[in-house]
Chain A
Amino acid sequence: MRYDAIVLGSGPEELVGAASLAGGGRRVLVLEAGPEIGGAAAAEELLPGFRVDPVHADAGFLDPRVLRDLELDRYGLALLAPDPVLAALAEEGGALTFWRDPARTRVAIADRSARDAGRWEAFAERMEAFARILEEVAGRPAPRPAGPLRELAPFLGLGRRVRALGRSDMTELFRVLPLPAYDLLEDTFEDALLKGALGALSVRGLFQGPRAQGTALALLHHLVGSPTGCFGTRTVVRGGVGGLIEALDGAARARGVELRVDSKVERIEIERGRAVSLRLADGSGVAAHAILSGMGAARTLLDLAGPTWLDPDFVHALRQIRCRGGFARIHLALSEAPRFKGLAEPAAGTIVLAPSLDYVERAFDNAKHGEASERPVLEARIPSLADTTLAPAGRHVMSVDARFVPVDGRDSSAGFAGATAGDALADRAVALIAERAPNLPGAILGRKVLLPADMETRYGLDGGDPYQGELALDQLLFMRPVPGWSNYRTPIQGLYLCGNGTHPAGAITGASGRLAAGAVLADLEGHG
């Protein structure tokens, strides 16, 4: 028996892909290697009753088309909107808070710099306008400039959108896209904390400091789909990424998708350049017209399909994809929420510790030379403040991303792994937060540290990169995941990619799954 399509993996993009294919009337099978649907995205229990998302974060921007098409609200999806969205912890105690209402953020900034406050709203609006342009690009397959002319048609619409910005904003867009966030922020603001916080957000998904070109684009990239000035947490899904998985699982099953766990795929079988079936670890095989993989491009094509049918240039390109997560994740189970000095309201959104741009740059310097940051940039969340389902009553879960951690020998002189290294970094991170929230150390009931090496071995994320490829200028749009192969297809017919390593990438949006399913459906129809 032959499925129309088999989806490898059961993360959010894969489930969106599977549900969309089934919605298109196709017979779909999802194979999950692990014991639970969700794979790396499945929620884990840190301690009984404390639920955390092991590696992913930020399920808060789902492509509205995915929400609508899959009717996720019917399957229990609920979106929460914590406020403030971002709290930037100051060196001297206290914090700069960013709110959903830009005017309220302006007031907060005014305490530190009247000049910056005056510039905030215009900056936020301009950034939002730019992000809208990127959103336009993110919603469809990335057009390939050297590809067929019909692929460029959407570019025309985009060109009109860009022109509609007006001369001043349009030229500013061209200037900002390749700009270092450092320059963008230095051009605009004077307050070190404000610049540091936004600088920290601009290096997410990159193994670079804020002085690197392309970091301004990364800042914009993360802003896609956000309300104006919402640089931190946009919305969160109740139940976290785990909650999203449950809803997607429901939607997929309702559309007739068959899901199997504990089904590790050993090999993609290829005949005459076409993927025809999968061989599982137990020796059994399953045949399909199309195979959609949520794994990274290199894992899928080199490890599962093998290089036999691939051109050496393509193989070379696969091996050049830079995956450099560069951060460690620290999960904490807490008996009480941390109380930050000088911060009146609970920090329900993103909490950032990056008092200045130089602080961020220096944190990267360490990693560049092969060591974990002495004073890491911290990006923390306490999702249980907004979502009481994640921890027992009155208790909390907190996750802290500590940047930067060296990834491998290729980019730094030493690798970074092992329990000692991880614990030392986690201790430093906790101590840094404790300077601002002294009750934190005493509140810790449980702790778990994930280094890039753990994310790679345990969750299949090369280089510990949840984006399956750095969000660098040369790895976006038609260059993602491999230059010229941005349309979810691969040189092997019938084999498709839908993971975060494909366009548009970034936060979990479902866009890759949806667009990849579109490519599969188009091809299946083409073949009758």
Chain B
Amino acid sequence: MTTAAVRTTPFHSRTAALVRGHTWRHWAGYVVPASYDLIHDLEYAAIRGTAGLIDVTPLFKYRIHGPAARALLDRVVTRDVARSKVGQVLYTPWCDPEGKVLDDGTVTRLAEDLFRLTSAHPNLRWLHQNAVGMDVVIEDETYDTAALSLQGPAARQILNLVADRDLTKLKFFRAAETSLGAIPATVTRTGYTGDLGYEIWVANDRAEALWDLLIAAGAPHGLQPTGLLAMDVARIEAGLILIDVDYVSARRALIERQKSSPFELGLGWTVARDKAPFVGQRALERERVAGSAWALRGLVVDWDALEELYADVGLPSQVPALPWRTSAPVYVGGRQVGYATSGCWSPLLKKSLALAHLEAPHAAPGTEVEIEVTVEHRRRRALATVAKTPFFDPERKRA
């Protein structure tokens, strides 16, 4: 009865055969490819140039249905679920009673009284705690449902090759129930790359067939199995935050300072006004009036400044080979005013990018700050400019 120490996803037989460098990453108790090749550059290039196929099965998935399904979700998340239409997907955070973010994910309205919630952390207990007295069924389908993310300019073309109906009209953040080949699937026009893309949700036992189908149809169009490293670069370019990296869930924080409100994470737009009561509403309404102490912003590190720091020690300037997620202090006038939580070199934009928490007075786009960088074993500060995210926002994402 002893079982393996880690889960593998239903795509494992396919992905394992392709991971040449044995570069795996642990994600929510699973292993998934960090990159298929030793270097992730081509996989990144596929996301921005053709299409990448990413195994995102480890996401937590809950099927919520019944007369009070809508009421439950409206009670939990900050977006106004009542105003969503069938077939619509909402990106939303949800909060604790103090208005601090617990998690973020998507709510897909599959029918009037049927929703799928995806999240980065487990939320089953939280959903049940909020469902007291409600006529609603919460099913954890995390371990029954496989998911692939098809991202990149060629994603629509590839999908249409296998879908039993034309998905060209499927708009950004909309969902469709359809069949791919003979595989019943939910397709959502969502993703974690800021590009044209889709996420495809199927039963576990159809996962391998789906993979094979997409690879066969997509290969001639440049479809590339893609790992998490390439996706990480793309999501930073898109300014999409990552739990446990860019923010700490209020559920896991040990001290108050570690927690963030949606406003402080640049998610103020998700906090609906005039909606039914939801957890954290009172605190968030107060914060909306009083203002927030922090803001999450993009930083573009000044190339010349970086080059100069390297030149000082006689080195050509270097860029990080991998997206990074170690905290880096941010200064203004010698005083620390924030910290960057993740960043990368953008091969497309040819810029060194970061996502940073900044004290509100220093968060206006265009503000010049300094970010700590380590140059030849020494801590230095490089000039950086506060920027709006996304850093990269192609027309095709929404078109």
Contacts and interface: CB of A to CB of B under 8 A. Distances in A.
Given A273-B277, A273-B282, A312 B133 contact: no
B130 interface: yes
Contacts of A311: 97, 279
A309 B130 CA distance: 11
Contacts of A273: 277, 282
A302 B134 CA distance: 11
B279 A312 contact: yes
A315 B126 CA distance: 12
A313 B129 CA distance: 8
B282 A312 contact: no
A306 B130 CA distance: 12
A308 interface: yes
Interface string A54-67: 00000000000000
B277 A308 contact: yes
A316 B130 CA distance: 9
Nearest to B282: A273
Contacts of B129: 312, 315-316
Nearest to B98: A311
A316 B75 CA distance: 15
Nearest to A303: B133
A283 B97 CA distance: 33
B321 interface: no
Nearest to A318: B132
A306 B279 CA distance: 14
A308 B275 CA distance: 12
A425 B120 CA distance: 54
B130 A312 contact: yes
Contacts of B282: 273
Given A273-B282, A302-B132, A307-B133, A312 B126 contact: yes
**Which of A273, A311, A312 counts the most chain B CB atoms within 10 A?**
A312
Nearest to B71: A308
A312 B97 CA distance: 8
Interface residues of B, number: 12
| Interface SS, A side | helix
Nearest to B281: A273
A440 B78 CA distance: 67
| Interface SS, B side | loop
B133 A309 contact: no
Nearest to A316: B129
A316 B132 CA distance: 9
B97 A302 contact: no
A312 B129 CA distance: 6
A319 interface: yes
Interface in A314-348: 314-316, 319
B97 A307 contact: no
A308 B72 CA distance: 9
Nearest to B133: A307
A443 to B, nearest CB: 49
Interface in A295-312: 302, 306-309, 311-312
A313 B132 contact: no
Nearest to B128: A312
Interface string B61-79: 0000000000000010000
B95 to A, nearest CB: 11
A145 to B, nearest CB: 19
A520 B253 CA distance: 37
Interface string A129-144: 0000000000000000
A491 to B, nearest CB: 9
**Which of B133, B276, B279 counts the most chain A CB atoms within 10 A?**
B133
Nearest to B97: A311
B211 to A, nearest CB: 39
Interface in B119-160: 126, 129-130, 132-133
A226 to B, nearest CB: 41
B357 to A, nearest CB: 26
A314 B130 CA distance: 10
A85 B98 CA distance: 52
Nearest to B130: A312
Interface in A268-296: 273
B224 to A, nearest CB: 43
A273 B286 CA distance: 14
Contacts of A302: 132-133
Nearest to B127: A312
A309 B281 CA distance: 10
A155 B282 CA distance: 32
A306 B129 CA distance: 14
A235 B23 CA distance: 80
Interface in B50-101: 75, 96-97
Interface in B251-289: 276-277, 279, 282
A285 to B, nearest CB: 21
Contacts of B96: 313
Contacts of B75: 308
A309 B126 contact: no
A308 B96 CA distance: 15
Given A302-B133, A311-B279, 4 more contacts: A308-B75, A308-B276, A311-B97, A315-B129
6 contacts: A273-B277, A307-B132, A309-B277, A312-B130, A312-B279, A314-B97
The 3 closest A-B pairs by CB, nearest first: A311-B97, A312-B129, A312-B130
Interface of B: 75, 96-97, 126, 129-130, 132-133, 276-277, 279, 282
